[in-house]
Structure 1
């Protein structure tokens, strides 16, 4: 395993840098390119480990792909061109891979088993299995002994029973989840009737934007989405996309710039989808320094540059519908809260307890290790800011959670001595060049083996 040693910042963070392509968009683009008819081209930087899991799954089902520098070519074989894999498909640490694949595999005439690493195997999967079963799919998992009625991976999916067609579906989701919504919509491409999905809150809509760009008859009004299966041609055209930069990855650089005096950082060509920019709204409410410069669109996704600088922060609040648009950024929001005047409240975020780790409990431990007072609550945190003076240097166990590790690195820049962030390999899940990017901006971070050897 890899540890990161973060040294206190001695100078401002400055520079203009890119971030990896948005992995949520890349997952969907990769999967849809395999279902399209013909060669698609996907660009936008090196793929992280999660995206590679989706790509490996396609390859396991007979889809030919070619990587050229940071461009991916995919030879799609159509909605019914996938073939049965010779072994269980390993989704690694990627819940998105497992849940989106479930929507596609539910319609196939062959059986598939989806497996994952230890972390993924603990994540709830009944939320995606139930709506797929309601439209005729066969999907089973391992009963979770700690949660009544819940299943986890391995998931056994298919084959689709006679007459080999999924039925129409009208489904009201109990929890807002872009992954579950996407699985339902992808299964709707194979259905002989319409698909209606209603969310309690609007979650990220990357799947809807891509499907619309590819000519799928889809419409939405607020939190209600309709896919008109009977009027769909049954064919997806090949496409080219340059994946926008990941706003979740950009958030770590934007927040670091707020916290280090005199910093000025630009992050180039970032996705500005309004379902993903909740952190930026919270940051502005806290008095942060951030300017969004629009730069057009890419297959329906707005993009732009982010200009961030140091700021004197006040307390903030995250709750209600804003949580769905900020769910992945809560760990780095905690870093903002740690340096704000007053107490920042994070509420309605119980979903964080079933991410790659229990992020509420993990961030409470991280903050306390840095000497920041916080109260852990069932659905969030209350963080008492410490805007003056140095934080306490810490030794952090990240638990292999990439967002916990990166948030800890940002906090380490504010400490009174070197901070060690343990088990940081999983940063490659979403931001493979995180350390190099931070160094380019002026941070000092060293990479060591867990035994202490550089």
Structure 2
């Protein structure tokens, strides 16, 4: 379905942040890798989190869920042999489960999103698993991917961090279960180190011991470990909330978002600091962010590597800032559901924004007076692009029509409902 976003000068109200997709994925995975019964409170519900629910159930985990929690009896280091796994369009789920699937004799990950996840490369993880006695058949590093494992081996493992930190996280989930100790060396410039910190945080909570170098470029992982069955609570999600906060920043607003912990390890927490740098009036205390926007913003320069999933929303806010903004060290945006630099900026330009791209930078020449809008936008099946373009639509002079906007459900199914609750003029169209 498509969505029409109409100019909306004022937003007001309170919402609760949805639960973190990143933490939900990791908690469900460590629960499945334990041999006991774990409980996860307030898990996220989205296409990505539903994908890992479905796949760990296929691999033998037993799941029982109500409106507050999910109880999981894990399969430990002995997942059930399956022939196929379907992760939908969830890249992190695919990469984490490629490592887990190395414990199975023969699993094929199918390609159901050839125009999105099907285009994304996974060569670096394939190469790393190959060093561990795992045979992999693939389509030039892309789906479908067949993994012939059963007897993965630890030892010395090298993995590139140039494209994604998810490859490293996948190895960190697998190697504690192996008979051998492992030494993991990261080559190149590791992207999204903050997200590796989230993985290590969850592993520690699950009773796993990993010795990490301070720069996260080398790890010693003792083998023969077991995941402990635990109780976990999922915190609020900063990446999704970034778009709502940006919407409040570019309008006249009185918007409150609850469940956003000040001390969160989510890198996207930086959106609060960036909006402050842009002179957006806000407070952040007791897990609540309160924005009283004026629609007036100042340009900013920001290193986006630590806050990858909030960059597009911050760029959307910068479209209306006074001056020229620069978001740098963001090349890994090119390897997401779409090329989030070239594809996103092309759609922003259609709407009337003045933007430039570099290999690893986004330059925004702000238009405080607003942009023209009045065009149809191709969001490239990308949930982050959909949310960010919606922010732009709120300050466009004419409505924006966002094609295939239902793909926002990949991470934030309630996004448009939450915006409408705050007064945004957004509607679905067939």
Looking at structure 2, the residues matched to 248 and 49 of structure 1 have their Cα atoms a distance apart, in angstroms, of 15
Per-residue deviation, residues 193-250 of structure 1 (Å, max 9, x unmatched): 13334473424122100111122112332324534324x5x32122222211110001
Per-residue deviation, residues 241-266 of structure 1 (Å, max 9, x unmatched): 221111000101111111102x1222
Looking at structure 2, the residues matched to 215 and 109 of structure 1 have their Cα atoms a distance apart, in angstroms, of 23
Cα drift, residue 46 of structure 1: 4.6
Q: Is the CA contact (8 Å cut-off) linking 1:367 and 1:374 kept in structure 2?
A: yes
State yes or no: 1:216 paired with 2:208. Answer: yes
Q: Residues 357, 165 of structure 1: CA spacing in aligned structure 2 closer, same or farther, 3 A cutoff?
A: closer
Q: Is the CA contact (8 Å cut-off) linking 2:132 and 2:157 kept in structure 1?
A: no
Q: Is the CA contact (8 Å cut-off) linking 1:335 and 1:410 kept in structure 2?
A: yes
Looking at structure 2, the residues matched to 391 and 326 of structure 1 have their Cα atoms a distance apart, in angstroms, of 29
Looking at structure 1, the residues matched to 257 and 183 of structure 2 have their Cα atoms a distance apart, in angstroms, of 38
State yes or no: 1:96 paired with 2:83. Answer: no
Q: Is the CA contact (8 Å cut-off) linking 1:188 and 1:227 kept in structure 2?
A: no
Match of 1:309 among 292, 295, 305: 292
For the residue of structure 2 that corresponds to 1:416, the secondary structure is strand
Q: Residues 3, 403 of structure 1: CA spacing in aligned structure 2 closer, same or farther, 3 A cutoff?
A: same
Partner residue in 2 for 1:169: 156
State yes or no: 1:27 paired with 2:25. Answer: yes
Q: Residues 169, 276 of structure 1: CA spacing in aligned structure 2 closer, same or farther, 3 A cutoff?
A: farther
Task: Map 1:168-187 to 2 at 5 A.
Answer: 168-171=155-158, 173-175=160-162, 177-187=164-174
Q: Any gaps of 5 or more consecutive residues in structure 1? A: 144-150, 295-303, 450-454
Task: Map 1:55-454 to 2 at 5 A.
Answer: 55-80=53-78, 82-85=79-82, 87-106=83-102, 108-116=103-111, 117-118=113-114, 119-143=116-140, 151-160=141-150, 164-171=151-158, 173-175=160-162, 177-191=164-178, 192-198=180-186, 200-201=189-190, 202-204=193-195, 205-220=197-212, 221-224=214-217, 226-230=219-223, 234-261=225-252, 263-270=253-260, 272-273=264-265, 275-294=267-286, 304-311=287-294, 312-319=296-303, 323-389=304-370, 391-449=372-430
Q: Is the CA contact (8 Å cut-off) linking 1:36 and 1:238 kept in structure 2?
A: yes
Partner residue in 2 for 1:146: none
Q: Any gaps of 5 or more consecutive residues in structure 2? A: none
Cα drift, residue 132 of structure 1: 1.8
For the residue of structure 2 that corresponds to 1:17, the secondary structure is strand
For the residue of structure 1 that corresponds to 2:412, the secondary structure is coil
Looking at structure 1, the residues matched to 273 and 186 of structure 2 have their Cα atoms a distance apart, in angstroms, of 25
Q: Give the length in aligned residue pairs.
A: 419
Q: Is the CA contact (8 Å cut-off) linking 2:121 and 2:142 kept in structure 1?
A: yes
For the residue of structure 1 that corresponds to 2:30, the secondary structure is helix
Cα drift, residue 402 of structure 1: 0.9
For the residue of structure 1 that corresponds to 2:259, the secondary structure is strand
Looking at structure 2, the residues matched to 227 and 267 of structure 1 have their Cα atoms a distance apart, in angstroms, of 40
Per-residue deviation, residues 318-374 of structure 1 (Å, max 9, x unmatched): 33xxx2212122221221110111111223322222210111122212221221111
CA RMSD of aligned residues (A): 2.0
Cα drift, residue 184 of structure 1: 1.3
Q: Residues 237, 125 of structure 1: CA spacing in aligned structure 2 closer, same or farther, 3 A cutoff?
A: same
Per-residue deviation, residues 118-173 of structure 1 (Å, max 9, x unmatched): 11111010121112222322223112xxxxxxx1111111223xxx3512235363
Moved more, 164-173 or 366-375: 164-173
Looking at structure 1, the residues matched to 185 and 243 of structure 2 have their Cα atoms a distance apart, in angstroms, of 33
Q: Is the CA contact (8 Å cut-off) linking 1:20 and 1:45 kept in structure 2?
A: no
For the residue of structure 2 that corresponds to 1:446, the secondary structure is strand
Partner residue in 1 for 2:4: 5
Normalised by the length of structure 1, the TM-score is 0.87
Cα drift, residue 45 of structure 1: 5.2
Looking at structure 2, the residues matched to 21 and 391 of structure 1 have their Cα atoms a distance apart, in angstroms, of 34
Normalised by the length of structure 2, the TM-score is 0.91
Partner residue in 2 for 1:147: none
Please list every run of at least 4 consecutive aligned residues from structure 1 whose deviation after the TM superposition is greater than 4 angstroms: none
